[in-house]
Structure 1
């Protein structure tokens, strides 16, 4: 006999807002559940442009977010979702009216938005089955690129040995001045080199919508890594294309076509500075982590 439980995770990021609905299936006499995605909805509300440039969420985007949460609530009801959890990351965290917007949305939709810190975001993502792709005797640098921040976490012998969140993300990079960008890039380079200098045969693990798209474009089979050579070639390939060409020739969404270039630069730079020659892409994200954390009563 099967037990089926429907859970949902809402990820309110700097570049987009996502709703993931998952069927958690447990067979009789089995303690190991199967997580199967039932629906994924992505809405391109770029809150990061408001938060990182103007310092607050605009009235227009607040209303768009409100409508999105209202729609998500209805979708969860139709799907029969029993439990959900909504997280907002750097854009809502840094916006001066982030808490105010979250409170208003709760009053009008009853969707409670939890504004979380970078370390909590990383911890939720780690609640996925990331451990299954880690070889305990090898070191890994986990890189999660968002719209407003990037989380770096270093694994060695199957354990986390250091982590750091930097205020550099795809949306933020597009709006940084050259001096601001140079300073943050220098800080990241120093941190990565310092923390990986004694680790041999290190590989990257990449997460985020952009690396998932890069992996899909590569045509690689799931579980196979992308090489440093491929990432370099792909970066130069993207750089030579115009924004319009990335949409028309690669089939990218308009809100992906501009941010995929800075995202690729972050992953590629992390590979160079850590000495990694390959990057694994398990296709996990915050919403996946939310669902699994809900199931195991960690949220």
Structure 2
């Protein structure tokens, strides 16, 4: 048996995550096991800078630098042999994004790649969905982040189309998503799914993971459109403080979970889907898989 430690760093618009995974290769079996060893999430809301001022603030640059230094030490302690750090919409839209990347590399040794929406969708989609999907059916894969939503349509095991939209939870919270982008996303989903029958949605992102956990359903089961619509009204009628004290949500989750739920509901309504599956995977998981198969 061989165990290889890999790490993926997801620098999003709402938070920054480090995922450390044990990749277990057993010569006696053909299957390679990816077992999560550690997950660290730091609530540095880069999108609150970029989507309002157009650049990452000095305060958040310093916080990012400290986080990357801490991640570097954690990876060293875990014995990580290979890692990849990817930054998404907040960093790619920041006027000083490249300068921040250079500064962090110079001061911490952590190399960050700023990826576009298409690459982000490809990495996320490369995660293992075999436990959920039926190769004879059609799905709409929706990943909701702080600054963008990546949507992929696939049918009978093949990707039909994929697109990134500048609609995300932090943008919506800051009222930075224009109505025309919503309309464009709606039209795209309808045009790419109206010929597909019995379509279901696969949702990824921290907010849909939290909604699934709150449902107390077993892993592998789906959530219904009606459940999400009821949860949306339930959450919307609660105060920010009650979402934290009564539901136990983190402050940086309590304010974005409502716009995130709205995005998932909209995608389901536009596509005619009545079920959403939540495999609890994201960009960091995709980074790990791509690292292992030497695709990054």
Under a length normalisation based on structure 2, what TM-score does the superposition of the two structures give? 0.98
SS at match of 1:212: helix
Partner of 2:165: 166
CA distance in 2, matches of 1:296, 1:127: 11
1:218-257 matches, within 5 Å, as 218-257=215-254
Which ranges of structure 1 fall in alignment gaps of 5 or more residues?
none
How much has 1:27 moved relative to structure 2? Answer: 1.3
Query: Are the equivalent residues in 1 in contact too, given 2:13–2:88 (CA < 8 A)?
Result: yes
Query: Are the equivalent residues in 1 in contact too, given 2:138–2:200 (CA < 8 A)?
Result: yes
Mean CA deviation greater in 239-248 or 131-140: 131-140
Cα displacement string for residues 10-52 of structure 1 (whole angstroms, at most 9, x for unaligned residues): 0000000000001111112333211111100000000001111
Query: Are the equivalent residues in 2 in contact too, given 1:9–1:290 (CA < 8 A)?
Result: yes
1:280 aligns with 2:277: yes
How much has 1:182 moved relative to structure 2? Answer: 2.1
CA distance in 2, matches of 1:193, 1:40: 36
CA distance in 1, matches of 2:85, 2:109: 11
Q: How many residues align?
A: 296
Query: Are the equivalent residues in 2 in contact too, given 1:127–1:293 (CA < 8 A)?
Result: yes
SS at match of 2:129: helix
List, as ranges, runs of 4+ consecutive aligned residues in structure 1 with deviation greater than 6 Å: none
How much has 1:132 moved relative to structure 2? Answer: 4.1
C-alpha RMSD of matched pairs (Å):
1.0
Query: Are the equivalent residues in 2 in contact too, given 1:173–1:181 (CA < 8 A)?
Result: no
Partner of 2:152: 153
1:35-114 matches, within 5 Å, as 35-114=34-113
Query: Are the equivalent residues in 1 in contact too, given 2:121–2:164 (CA < 8 A)?
Result: no
Mean CA deviation greater in 191-200 or 2-11: 191-200
Query: Are the equivalent residues in 1 in contact too, given 2:90–2:147 (CA < 8 A)?
Result: yes
Partner of 1:26: 25
SS at match of 1:163: strand
Query: Are the equivalent residues in 2 in contact too, given 1:137–1:156 (CA < 8 A)?
Result: yes
CA distance in 2, matches of 1:181, 1:103: 32
Under a length normalisation based on structure 1, what TM-score does the superposition of the two structures give? 0.97
